[in-house]
A = this chain, B = another copy of it.
Amino acid sequence: MTIHNFQPTVFYNTIGSHPPVLHIADGDTVITPTPDARGVDKDYQEVARRGNPMVGPFYVDGAEPGDTLVVYLERIDPNRATGWTRHVLAEMVVDFEYVHNLPVPQPPNEIIQWNIDPVACTASLVEPNPHLGNLTLPLKPMLGCFGVAPELEQAISTATSGNYGGNMDYNGFVAGTTVYFPVWEPGALFHLGDGHAVQGDGEIVGTGIEVSMEVQFTVKILKGKTIAWPRGENAEYIYTAGNARPLDQATQHATTEMLRWLVSDYGLDITSTSILMGQCVSYELGNMYDPAYTMVCKMPKRVLNTLPGR
C-alpha cells in the first residue's frame, strides 16, 4: 500500500509496451502531475511533445493478460491558473454542407484561454467575448486519455482509443470514479494524461479546457477477472465505454459489454438483462472528434439494488 510521489521525466505519445517508468504493487497509490495535451506543465514549461503525452507506463506487479486492472481516480486537480480550448465546432459534428460556414482560425489564434479558479471551482474566459462576456462554468476535472497497453505489443497514438482505453474524452472520468481496464500485456502498463478542467459531451470543438493536473490514483488487480472493454463505476451508475467509428459501433461495443457485465456479475440471463437494459439504460456521448468515437452505456445502481437477492 505504498504511496508513490512520482515526478515524470519521460513521456510517450503512444500507449504501448514501453519500458515502465515505475513498478507498483497491487493496492499502491500514485500521485503524479500530468502535462496538458500540448505537453505543457504546471509551470508553463513544455516538458513533452504535443499530442496527449502520457505519464507512465506504470507496471503493476502481478497483473497478467486476462486480469482486470482497477484504477480508483481519487484526485484530478488542475495545478495551474489557466487552460485553453479550441473555439470552433469540428467539421465532423455538423452537417456536411454546413462546414463551409465554419471559420478556420489559424495558429496561434486557434485557441483561447480560460482562467481556472480552484476556490470558486470555476473556469472563465480570460478575454471577455462580446457575446459571452467572461463565460464562467463550473469545474468538472477529468482525464481525457488514459489506459493500459494494447495487445500484441502494439503502440497506438494517444489521438485514438480502443478496448485498452486511450483518448476516450468522456467527461464522466472524474475524481471519485472507479475505472476497470482489461489487462492485455504483463504489468498492465497504465498510462495517463490529457486532463480537462471542463468538457461538454462529444468534445465537439476538439478539446475540453486543456490543463495540467495533479492526479492521484490507486490500482488493484482482479486476478482472473476478464473483461472486454473499459468499465466504470460511480455512486449512481455502473457503465461501459465503447470506442469505435461510427457512433453506432461504439454504442454496440458499450451495450454488449454492459450485457456481459450484468450476465456475469449479476446472475442474469440474456433475456432478463434485455428487459432491464431496454427500459433502464442511458447513454452518454464521450467524444465524436477523435479517430475512434466513444459512447458510454450506463445502468443505474438504484435499479440494480432492487433486484432479488441484492
Q: How large is the interface on A (under 10, 10 to 19, 20 to 34, 35 or more residues)?
A: 35 or more
Tell whether A276 is near chain B: CB-to-CB under 8 Å: yes
**This chain's copy number in the assembly:** 4
Chain B residues whose CB sits within 8 angstroms of the CB of A247 once the complex forms: 246-248, 251
Q: Interface segment, A2-10, A67-75, A175-183, A198-206?
A: A198-206
Least CB distance from A49 to B in Å reads: 9
B132 touches A276 (CB 8 A): yes
A138→B238 CA distance, assembly (Å): 19
Question: Which of A103, A201, A245 is the most central at the interface, judged by chain B CB atoms within 10 Å of its CB?
Answer: A201
Chain B residues whose CB sits within 8 angstroms of the CB of A267 once the complex forms: 131
Question: Which of A245, A275, A278, A282 is the most central at the interface, judged by chain B CB atoms within 10 Å of its CB?
Answer: A278
Q: Contacts A14-B153, A89-B259, A284-B283; is A308 near B200 (CB within 8 Å)?
A: no
Which residues 223-282 in A have Cβ within 8 Å of B in the complex? 244-249, 251-253, 255-256, 259, 267-282
B245 touches A89 (CB 8 A): no
A274 touches B200 (CB 8 A): no
Q: Contacts A132-B275, A303-B137; is A200 near B87 (CB within 8 Å)?
A: no
Chain B residues whose CB sits within 8 angstroms of the CB of A307 once the complex forms: 131-133, 135
Q: Which of B89, B244, B256, B283 contacts A94 (CB 8 A)?
A: B256
B274 touches A89 (CB 8 A): yes
B198 touches A270 (CB 8 A): no
Q: Which of B99, B204, B279 contacts A99 (CB 8 A)?
A: B99
Q: Contacts A247-B248, A267-B131; is A278 near B85 (CB within 8 Å)?
A: yes
A247→B254 CA distance, assembly (Å): 14
Q: Contacts A155-B16, A268-B131; is A199 near B279 (CB within 8 Å)?
A: yes
Q: Contacts A94-B259, A278-B85, A279-B85; is A152 near B246 (CB within 8 Å)?
A: no
Least CB distance from A240 to B in Å reads: 12
A284→B296 CA distance, assembly (Å): 11
Chain B residues whose CB sits within 8 angstroms of the CB of A90 once the complex forms: 96
- Give per-residue flags for A276-310: 1 if the beta carbon is below 8 A from chain B beta carbons, else 0: 11111111110010000101000000010011100
B204 touches A288 (CB 8 A): no
A306→B128 CA distance, assembly (Å): 13
Which residues 86-126 in A have Cβ within 8 Å of B in the complex? 86-104, 112, 123, 125
Q: Could you write out 5 A-B pairs with CB less than 8 Å apart?
A: A91-B99, A98-B259, A125-B275, A136-B306, A200-B281
Q: Which residues of A contact B (CB under 8 A)?
A: 13-14, 16, 51, 85-104, 112, 123, 125, 129-133, 135-137, 151-157, 198-205, 207-209, 244-249, 251-253, 255-256, 259, 267-285, 288, 293, 295, 303, 306-308
Closest 3 CB pairs of A and B: A205-B278, A247-B247, A91-B96
